[in-house]
């Protein structure tokens, strides 16, 4: 019974976009700037970057360069036969969320900085990179991160 309540609570919190990895800075519907930037608006997209997620546990572009202030539309396609996801965050945020995913591998995401993809599916994340530095991205399905399904976004100063 305790496990059922725990799963229900996690499901509810996740559906509200509340997790321990607040990469999108989302709290009760508001979007605040985080360490990696903030959710972007489609009308402000300056560039679209295509990424493929594959079952060899790699993204097609493991290193991406953007400019501070750019709003990027990441179009992600799962070319594999297993679920994948694209999650933006600091390394610490991604590792914390990875631990959650190990416990709840069927967790779905409804956060601006993440997209879950069934085999053959496409999805997008629109993100504004407001701060110079490095932003990490990864697939956090159990085993995928450890196998190397991750990458870096270098945000060049204006």
Number of domains in the chain: 1
Phi, psi of 67 (to 5 degrees): -105, 145
CA distance 84 to 82: 6
pLDDT on residue 15: 43
Domain of residue 88: give its range: 2-156
DSSP 84: E
CATH number reported for the structural domain that contains residue 138 in this entry: 2.60.40.420
Residue ranges for the chain with pLDDT beneath 50: 1-30
pLDDT digits (tens, 9 = 90+) for 66-89: 999 999 999 999 999 999 999 999
Q: What is the pLDDT of residue 17?
A: 43
CA atoms within 13 A on the CB side of 128: 15
DSSP structure string for 38-68: EE--GGG--EEEEEEEETTTEES-SEEEEET
Summarize the chain as % helix, strand, coil (round to 5): 20, 40, 40
Half-sphere exposure in the Cβ direction for 100 (13 Å, CA): 21
At 110 the pLDDT is 80
């Amino acid at each position: 019974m305790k496990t059922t309540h725990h799963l229900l609570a996690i499901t509810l919190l996740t559906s509200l976009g509340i997790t321990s990895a607040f990469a999108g800075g989302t709290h009760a519907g508001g979007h605040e700037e985080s360490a990696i930037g903030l959710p972007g608006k489609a009308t402000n997209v300056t560039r679209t970057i295509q990424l493929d997620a594959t079952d060899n546990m790699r993204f097609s572009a493991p290193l991406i360069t953007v400019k501070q202030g750019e709003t990027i539309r990441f179009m992600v396609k799962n070319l594999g036969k297993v679920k994948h996801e694209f999650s933006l965050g600091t390394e610490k945020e991604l590792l914390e969320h990875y631990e959650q995913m190990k416990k709840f591998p069927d967790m779905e995401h409804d956060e601006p900085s993440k997209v879950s993809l069934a085999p053959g599916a496409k999805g997008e994340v629109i993100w504004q990179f407001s701060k110079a530095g490095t932003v990490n991205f990864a697939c956090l399905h159990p085993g995928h991160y450890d196998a190397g399904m991750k990458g870096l976004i270098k945000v060049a100063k204006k």
